[in-house]
Amino acid sequence: MNVGFREAQFDWYSDAMPKHRKLAALRFDALLAAFGLSLSGCIGKALTGIDSAYPKEWEPRTVIASASICADLTGNYQNWGDFSYLVKDSDTNSLSKRLTRVAWQAESVRLSLPDSDTIVVEILEGQEIKHSATLRKSNGDFGCDSRGTVIDDRGYSGADGGGFYKSHVRLYLRASRDGALIGEERNTSGGALLWVVPVGGVRTMWFRWKKVK
């Protein structure tokens, strides 16, 4: 599931396309994505439109004391957030989708942490709970890191006549000093176009879900 760029690529292809052609197209897209990461790292925002820097106009993030202790995410946050990347996609900005795999049409998302192993997610419309879910660290639903609580951690790889690629996506959540929830999505990719041209890099995109008072 997740995350803007990769999901948008999947949306380009019709179900009517033959499976072998669809897979080849997706693999080629993954190679182009890795190439795009190389450009974003070497040439920057002027050419690619991708700026990995934390937005200067946002409040600084809180400091996490230890990588072994998960960030405190307690609060009620806007479901639809701000996105640092140029492309605006509502599903990409949906906090409910990041946490429950569904982009609920709802006003806010309330998070509570009854213990160190549990995050309770409640999807709200006003005060009405439309959906709830429980994430457990012991089940691998989330983890702790110095960058924030790891909610999404996925790896992909593949190879064909166009070359090979590997990609790893992680989403970290932590608070900012004004109480907003900040998402840091890091996409690390590498591979070789036509098996000889090395490509790869790291792209970071930022999300902000403001606190609901």
The pLDDT of residue 21:
42
Q: Please tell me whether residue 122 adopts helix, strand or coil conformation.
A: strand
Q: Which residue has the higher pLDDT, 177 or 27?
A: 177
Q: Are 61 and 135 in contact (CB under 8 A)?
A: no
Spatial distance between the Cα atoms of 211 and 114, rounded to a whole number of angstroms: 19
Spatial distance between the Cα atoms of 57 and 71, rounded to a whole number of angstroms: 22
Q: How many CA atoms lie within 13 A of 17 on its CB side?
A: 13
Q: Which of 120, 172, 117 is nearest to 139 (CA)?
A: 117
Kindly report the number of other CB atoms within 10 A of residue 213's CB atom: 5
Kindly report the number of other CB atoms within 10 A of residue 45's CB atom: 12
The pLDDT of residue 47:
44
66 pLDDT tier (thresholds 50, 70, 90) = confident
Spatial distance between the Cα atoms of 133 and 168, rounded to a whole number of angstroms: 25
- Residue 147 is given by DSSP the state T
Spatial distance between the Cα atoms of 40 and 204, rounded to a whole number of angstroms: 10
Cα 177 to the center of its chain, rounded Å: 21
Spatial distance between the Cα atoms of 5 and 48, rounded to a whole number of angstroms: 13
The pLDDT of residue 20:
42
Encode pLDDT of 83-111 as tens digits: 887 666 668 889 999 899 888 999 999 99
The pLDDT of residue 46:
47
Q: What percent of the chain has pLDDT over 70?
A: 63
Q: How far is CA 125 from CA 63, 74, 104, 151, 194, in A?
A: 31, 18, 10, 23, 50
pTM of the model: 0.71
Encode pLDDT of 110-134 as tens digits: 999 999 999 999 999 998 999 999 9
The pLDDT of residue 68:
84
Backbone φ/ψ region at 164: left (φ over 0), alpha (ψ -120 to 50), beta: beta
Q: Are 80 and 99 in contact (CB under 8 A)?
A: no
Q: Are 151 and 136 in contact (CB under 8 A)?
A: no
**Per-residue b or e along 191-208, where b marks 16 or more CB atoms closer than 10 Å to that residue's CB:** bbbeeeeebbbebbbbbb
Encode pLDDT of 147-193 as tens digits: 999 987 666 666 666 666 677 788 999 999 999 999 999 888 776 66
